[in-house]
Amino acid sequence: MAEQTDTYAEFRDAVNMTPAELRKWLGSDESRDVGQKSSAGAESVGHDSGRKIVQILGKKKTELTEADEKHMRKVVGYVHRHMAQRPDGDVSESRWRYSLMNWGHDPLKK
């Protein structure tokens, strides 16, 4: 499926954290503190997304499902939208950066 190939490439470009880096990040207090939550104490949308990203990164391209592809498109869209909203100044310890990292993208990573 040509669309999946494009989605896969875009996803791999958007997600610049390794599975190990993302897993470690998701275990941090900063990761759990940011993002939109359905209720107090609930997991944020981004944190849930990060767990799904780790699973997707652990699969071979041929093992990806339609649900994986749908989530990959969601990740690409989020990263692109959020990057366009970069705040001024140092973002190294910002909620903006932390939110992006929950989605597998560290804007400070080369």
Indicate if the pLDDT at residue 26 is higher than 80.
yes
- Residue 36 has what pLDDT? 86
pLDDT of residue 4: 53
Q: What is the mean pLDDT of the chain?
A: 93
Q: Across residues 93-105, what is the average pLDDT?
A: 97
The pLDDT of residue 71 is 97
Given a cut of 70, whether residue 1 has pLDDT beyond it is no
DSSP per position, 2-60 = HHHHHHHHHHHHH--S-HHHHHHHHTSHHHHHSS--SSTTSPPHHHHHHHHHHHHHTS-
Q: How far apart are CA 29 and CA 7, in angstroms?
A: 31
| Band (41; pLDDT cuts 50, 70, 90) | confident
